[in-house]
Homo-oligomer: A and B are copies of this chain.
């Protein structure tokens, strides 16, 4: 279904950029799962715009729990989360009414919804809705961590500037460090360069994108379903809902095209009684099912389409050519904010797969 994802655990999302509120319903919950509102807010803070390199729109992002939680534990019935929009400025967009912002959904949505869509700020298609993905996903990221399953990401590159590689022998330590950062880059000097690059783009009234690399540690082997429910299918279905993501790859990803099979295969061995692979080119997934090695994938975030330059476009009502200058508030880059969306949403999908495998008592606690 359109705005619902998940099999055993399902997330249904609603709201618009400038409507009264955004939110979701999470169903299929285990009962007795700790719902840590502080953790949810801390995760949301990682998505917040940050100073000079982000939009000036400020939202408190306070999550209200409307149902499904009692004494800080999930009841097992649907959890509804609500985030009120406080800083929606519908007027910002009136000047550009019926103009298709290049790179945005405006024209596509106009055809899809016949003009009844909420066009302001992208409406239901706005990046604003990723706040809900973070809030919902944070519940499961927290639950996974309590099970020892760690999700974490860093920014591999922004506009050609590359972070150093993760140290595969210190993955856990480095991911934990990254998870504390606002701007998740391993090399401090690279981070500065990246921020300068974003500021430079902003000065040019332009924007930049980049690549994220994500790891999930301690995912048990044997999780995933055949065919259309492979871990790759399930994660990519979710990840492509994040507005700017235009590519998802696992393990060596597009690099596989240059390898021999003998280089791409991961040899199995036994390490202290545990099955491991010597390399992890396949990103912890064989045939769609986890093999016990870290789940490893990349996502590419396109440059933010909202830029302050004058661009050629059309008025989709008059069907005439014109130009557009999007004023409003812009993010010259969103990759550093998208990171926690990828982490939390991935956590939700993996939690769904785990509960599908082990039943509804996997995450729950008994009295």
Contacts and interface: CB of A to CB of B under 8 A. Distances in A.
A272 to B, nearest CB: 11
Nearest to A264: B303
Contacts of A121: none
A2 B225 contact: yes
A49 interface: no
Interface in A269-327: 269-270, 273, 275, 277-278, 282-283, 285-292, 298, 300-307, 309, 311-314, 316, 319-321
A364 B115 CA distance: 11
A357 B25 CA distance: 20
A118 B2 contact: no
A39 interface: no
Contacts of A248: 236, 247-249
Given A31-B116, A105-B286, A4 B12 contact: yes
Q: Chain A at the B interface: mostly helix, strand, loop or mixed? A: mixed
A82 B70 CA distance: 20
Interface stretch (A144-152, A169-177, A206-214, A336-344): A206-214
A6 to B, nearest CB: 9
A62 interface: no
Which of A227, A265, A291, A301 has the most B CB atoms < 10 Å from its CB?
Answer: A227
A139 to B, nearest CB: 15
Which of A2, A311, A313 has the most B CB atoms < 10 Å from its CB?
Answer: A2
Nearest to A318: B270
Given A103-B266, A319-B275, A250 B246 contact: yes
A100 interface: yes
Interface residues on A, range: 35 or more
A78 B361 contact: no
Contacts of A307: 261-262, 265
A348 B78 CA distance: 21
A237 interface: yes
A108 interface: yes
B230 A240 contact: yes
Interface stretch (A16-24, A40-48, A184-192): A16-24
Given A210-B257, A251-B246, A300-B256, A25 B25 contact: yes
B256 A16 contact: no
B261 A66 contact: no
A301 B77 contact: no
Contact of A76 (B22, B112, B160): B112
A265 B102 contact: yes
A264 B209 contact: yes
Given A23-B80, A233-B241, A247-B249, 19 more contacts: A1-B7, A14-B80, A31-B113, A75-B113, A76-B114, A102-B267, A105-B288, A112-B223, A122-B287, A160-B257, A207-B261, A208-B261, A256-B303, A259-B302, A260-B303, A262-B311, A270-B319, A359-B359, A359-B362
25 contacts: A2-B27, A3-B78, A4-B27, A12-B27, A13-B78, A15-B66, A75-B117, A77-B123, A100-B268, A104-B286, A107-B286, A124-B226, A159-B260, A208-B260, A209-B256, A233-B237, A246-B252, A249-B249, A249-B254, A261-B304, A262-B309, A268-B313, A275-B316, A359-B359, A359-B360
